[in-house]
């Protein structure tokens, strides 16, 4: 069964299919990043650099706690995409039902754990005392919204697996506009500070998640699961967890590495923290084309693995890699020429702007490796290469923890070691991704002979 709400990616020109599928994902990801940008710009300009640093200090911790259910969501999506590519409609419905159970359990557990551990982790990271109360407030509000985020992640993961990248976008756009309006209302008009920014994001996430899920149930027949197909299925659950846990481990290791790097940033004081927050927010935007193509490739590779078309996977990888390298070149040029102007969107302080502009000139040199990471990761995740996820996580944690120690002890890089570490880690991770892909391709070609 194929409907207007699905896309079959096992036939047709790979890059054309991937581009059509990735465009709504890109638009949606940009709007999702607008949540963070709205918080940062409004908090930074209305409340000052310290408040911006407080919001930024929670970013790596949020990533750490959210990585678990994000990985599980990815595993559920891969299983569903393979059933869809193999045209097993009944199994698709079973996978959609069982994915809901898995996502509910993982989000509740993650949110509760994050809420309890926030003060301990922030203190362990050496968060400066002057911003610690605001950082705890923002992070605890974020933790409470984990189940709301999981609703959207579940709905969008299932829809992407079926080839529908448009539906989640519609609700996300409305939600983003609401987020900006509520930010201005709660922070600017009501004076609720960091708490108001977090509350605005929380309410907006509720709207995007609930709206996307309700619409999917009404418009996509795959979501209308009959009672017998709603039963717990051990095999589907085990497959989703078997694929999702390595993804969760990968993201957890990456999150731990960024948390460790944040502690290095904290040691240089509020100016470095504000500059790091601003450059992070900008580079989250830079990563959106790469991330969108990565998600498209996961669905593409999953569907084609289900259909037994491994040669199409290689073609899609090659064409996507060339396209993302071109995007990386444009982004690098932009940061080299306009870095300080972009940082000034977040803060007024000249020292923060100068530091952030120079930092972007350092990291942008490595954007091409960032594109390689996302493209290769998308393909390998889609084909179910679970062990790669662990390898990739180990490489990232080694780079972000080991390189700052090396740079600070051996060189005179000082505060710039933060951004040198980021770029060098992308280089290491990108190289490991390519080596792993070549290994998979060799095995796939041997299996076809």
Domain ranges in the chain?
Answer: 14-448
pLDDT at residue 360, as a whole number: 94
Distance CA 373, CA 280 (A): 17
Taking residues 25-30, report their average pLDDT: 80
pLDDT at residue 34, as a whole number: 66
Average pLDDT over all residues of the chain: 85
pLDDT at residue 448, as a whole number: 67
Quick one: which H or E segment has residue 112?
A: helix 89-124
Q: How much of the chain exceeds pLDDT 90, in percent?
A: 20
Q: What are the DSSP E strand ranges found in 105-153?
A: none
Which 8-state DSSP code applies to residue 48? -
**Quick check: 415 and 272 in contact, CB under 8 A?**
yes
The more confidently predicted of residues 37 and 284 is 284
Which 8-state DSSP code applies to residue 11? S
174 pLDDT above the threshold of 60: yes
Distance CA 145, CA 184 (A): 20
Q: How many residues does the chain have?
A: 449
96 pLDDT above the threshold of 90: yes
340 pLDDT above the threshold of 70: yes
pTM of this prediction exceeds 0.85: no
Distance CA 340, CA 355 (A): 8
Which residues, at least 6 apart from 107, have a Cβ–Cβ distance to it below 8 Å? 69, 146, 147, 149, 150
62 pLDDT above the threshold of 80: no
Taking residues 9-32, report their average pLDDT: 85
Question: Would you call 414 exposed, middle or buried from its count of C-beta atoms within 10 A (0-12, 13-18, 19+)?
Answer: exposed
pLDDT at residue 2, as a whole number: 52
Residue with tokens 């980021």: 422
Three-state secondary-structure class, residue 299: helix
Please name which of 207, 354, 277, 206 lies closest in space to residue 47, comparing C-alpha atoms.
Answer: 277
Taking residues 229-256, report their average pLDDT: 83
230 pLDDT above the threshold of 70: yes
Distance CA 355, CA 359 (A): 6
**Quick check: 226 and 88 in contact, CB under 8 A?**
no
Q: Residue 332's pLDDT band (boundaries 50, 70, 90)? A: very high
Identity of the highest mean pLDDT range in 163-167, 277-281, 360-364: 360-364
Distance CA 152, CA 15 (A): 27
Which residues, at least 6 apart from 221, have a Cβ–Cβ distance to it below 8 Å? 1, 3, 5
Distance CA 43, CA 144 (A): 20
Q: Residue 130's pLDDT band (boundaries 50, 70, 90)? A: confident
Residues 198/202/208/213 CA torsion (nearest 10 deg): 150
pLDDT at residue 427, as a whole number: 94
pLDDT at residue 297, as a whole number: 92
Residue with tokens 């994915």: 99
16 pLDDT above the threshold of 80: yes
Taking residues 418-446, report their average pLDDT: 89
Taking residues 338-362, report their average pLDDT: 89
Q: Residue 251's pLDDT band (boundaries 50, 70, 90)? A: confident
Distance CA 137, CA 201 (A): 13
Say which range, 19-23, 251-255, 383-387, has the weakest mean pLDDT.
251-255
Q: Residue 3's pLDDT band (boundaries 50, 70, 90)? A: low
148 pLDDT above the threshold of 70: yes
Q: How many CB atoms lie within 10 A of CB 439?
A: 13
Which residues, at least 6 apart from 449, have a Cβ–Cβ distance to it below 8 Å? none
Distance CA 245, CA 389 (A): 9
Residue with tokens 């990565």: 294
Where are the alpha helices (H) located in 220-269, listed in sequence order? Answer: 234-266
69 pLDDT above the threshold of 80: no
Q: Residue 262's pLDDT band (boundaries 50, 70, 90)? A: confident
Question: Would you call 48 exposed, middle or buried from its count of C-beta atoms within 10 A (0-12, 13-18, 19+)?
Answer: middle
Q: What is the token pair recorded at 303?
A: 């569907």
331 pLDDT above the threshold of 80: yes
Taking residues 130-141, report their average pLDDT: 87
pLDDT at residue 1, as a whole number: 52
Distance CA 305, CA 64 (A): 30
């Amino acid at each position: 069964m194929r409907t207007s709400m699905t896309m079959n990616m096992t036939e047709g020109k790979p890059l054309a299919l991937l581009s059509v599928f990735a465009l709504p994902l890109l638009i949606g990801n940009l709007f999702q990043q607008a949540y963070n940008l709205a918080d940062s710009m409004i908090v930074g300009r209305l409340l000052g650099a310290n408040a911006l640093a407080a919001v930024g200090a929670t970013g790596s911790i949020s990533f750490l706690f959210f990585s678990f259910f994000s990985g599980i969501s990815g595993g559920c999506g891969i299983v569903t995409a393979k059933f869809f590519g193999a045209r097993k409609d009944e199994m698709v419905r079973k996978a959609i039902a069982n994915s809901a159970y898995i996502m509910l359990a993982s989000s509740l557990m993650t949110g509760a754990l994050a809420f309890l551990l926030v003060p301990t982790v922030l203190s362990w990271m050496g968060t400066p005392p002057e911003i610690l109360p605001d950082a705890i407030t923002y992070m605890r509000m974020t933790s409470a919204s984990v189940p709301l985020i999981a609703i959207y992640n579940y709905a969008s993961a299932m829809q992407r697996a079926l080839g529908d990248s448009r539906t989640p976008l519609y609700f996300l756009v409305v939600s983003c506009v609401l987020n900006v309006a509520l930010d201005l209302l709660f922070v600017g008009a009501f004076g609720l500070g960091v708490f108001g920014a977090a509350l605005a994001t929380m309410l907006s996430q509720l709207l995007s998640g609930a709206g996307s899920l309700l619409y999917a149930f009404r418009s996509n027949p795959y979501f209308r699961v009959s009672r017998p197909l709603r039963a717990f299925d051990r095999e589907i659950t085990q497959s989703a967890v078997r694929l999702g846990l390595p993804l969760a481990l990968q993201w957890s290791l990456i999150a731990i590495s960024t948390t460790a790097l944040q502690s290095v940033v904290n040691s240089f004081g509020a100016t470095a923290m504000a500059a790091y927050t601003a450059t992070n927010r900008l580079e989250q935007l830079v990563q959106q084309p790469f991330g969108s193509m990565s998600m498209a490739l996961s669905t593409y590779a999953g569907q084609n693995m289900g259909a037994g078309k491994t040669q199409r996977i290689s073609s899609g990888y090659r064409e996507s890699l060339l396209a993302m390298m071109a995007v990386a070149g444009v982004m690098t040029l932009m940061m080299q020429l306009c870095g300080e102007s972009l940082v000034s969107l977040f803060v007024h302080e000249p020292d923060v702007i100068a530091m952030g502009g120079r930092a972007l000139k350092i990291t942008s040199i490595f954007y091409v490796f960032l594109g390689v990471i996302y493209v290769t990761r998308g393909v390998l995740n889609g084909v179910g290469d679970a062990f790669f996820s662990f390898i990739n996580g180990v490489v990232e944690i080694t780079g972000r923890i080991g390189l700052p120690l090396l740079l600070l002890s051996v060189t005179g890089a000082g505060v710039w070691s933060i951004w040198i570490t980021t770029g060098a880690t992308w280089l290491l991770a990108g190289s490991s991704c390519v080596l792993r892909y070549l290994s998979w391709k060799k095995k796939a070609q041997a299996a076809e002979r």
